[in-house]
Amino acid sequence: MTAAAKRPETLDVMDVGIKVRRMDFDFSDDIPDYWYDQDPLLTLFLTALSATFPEGEKQFIQSVRNFQDQITDPELRKQIRAFIGQEAHHSKEHDALNDLMKRKGFPVLRIEKRMTRMAQWMRDNWSEERQLANTVCAEHITAIMADFFMTKSPQELEKLAPQVRKIWAWHVIEETEHKAVAFDVYQQLVNDPWLRRSQMVLLTVLFVAETAASTTQLLQASDQMRNWKMWLKGSRYFLGRKGMVWKLLPEYLDFYKKDFHPWQHQRLAELRALKSRYLDEGEH
């Protein structure tokens, strides 16, 4: 093992940089209802995720802010500020996408309200350490899902309607850039592997149940519940041999390793390629 492999976080974070980009997406009503491969299930799956982002990201920011003052490393302090900036912008832009889906008649508001209640419950009942551990876990789930669209199945981004492609590509890029920030804060100040792992088990159950319930609620508002072709394609997308679950499982399980660090999943070349393709940021 080289020195770089031992402490990849230091090298890679410097290489990646965490850039706060200001976007101003305009989601007009002429965007097709089913903007992901013209598929109701896949579109409403991403809509369900999008509906949870503003409240979820607010909670992620808060959980890191609780510890921000105790961090003395100037580089990590800079990364925390960039992490907060990126997440705040994601919320703003996903609010706009969520508004589009509300205008189309989907019950996005119900999901948002449920998320607000859940986030409040977590703040009332969990220690600040557990809230930070939860953010670390959520950031890992987000990072491996981003990796699905960046590395494992990059063709999927091309299946999005052009009007919504950039928000998802941008979010994939920035989730990858800041994937280790909450983790590094946790390692420096909490460093409890049992809490991190047990929280991942809990969050995985919550996340799968919440996403499935929200997607179903959104689908019920459409006339697609009996679209069997859609269900067949969807089950292949998630559970097929080349489906999302199987593709993400190895990286998901890596999280439970004692010496895990997010930058053990090297993605620098893919990140550069995605930035130049979707954000017009030249290779550097």
Binding residues (CB under 5 A) for Fe ion: these are 87, 90, 175
- Least distance from C-beta 224 to Fe ion, angstroms? 28
**39 vs 147 by CB, closer to Fe ion:** 147
Please, is 72 exposed, middle or buried when counting C-beta atoms within 10 Å of its C-beta (0-12, 13-18, 19+)?
exposed
In the complex, least distance from residue 23 CB atom to Fe ion, rounded to whole angstroms: 12
Residue closer to Fe ion by CB (options 50, 224) is 50
Between 87 and 210, name the residue whose CB sits nearer to Fe ion: 87
Closer to Fe ion by Cβ: residue 142 or 222 = 142
In angstroms, the CA 169 to CA 133 distance is 26
CB of 114 to Fe ion, least distance (A): 19
CB of 44 to Fe ion, least distance (A): 20
We find the least distance from the C-beta atom of residue 30 to Fe ion, in angstroms, to be 27
For Fe ion, give the closer residue by CB, 169 or 230: 169
Long-range pairs, 277-282, Cβ under 8 A, ≥24: 277/169, 278/157, 278/165, 278/166, 278/169, 278/170, 278/173, 279/21, 279/166, 279/169, 279/170, 279/173
User: If DSSP codes are grouped into helix, strand and coil, which group holds residue 160?
Assistant: strand
Dihedral, 115, 116, 118, 121 alpha carbons, nearest 10 = 170
In the numeric block, which tokens belong to residue 280?
């017009």
Nearer to Fe ion, 92 or 114 (CB): 92
- Helices and strands counted in the chain (H then E): 13, 0
The pair of three-digit structure tokens given for residue 150, joined into one six-digit string: 């960046």
CA distance 218 to 167: 21
User: Shortest Cβ contact with Fe ion: which residue?
Assistant: 90
Please name which of 58, 274, 22, 12 lies closest in space to residue 150, comparing C-alpha atoms. 274
Cβ 184 to Fe ion shortest distance, Å? 13
The two three-digit tokens of residue 233, written as one number: 């394609």
Quote the least distance from Cβ 137 to Fe ion, whole Å: 12
Q: Quick one: 39 or 184, whose CB is closer to Fe ion?
A: 184
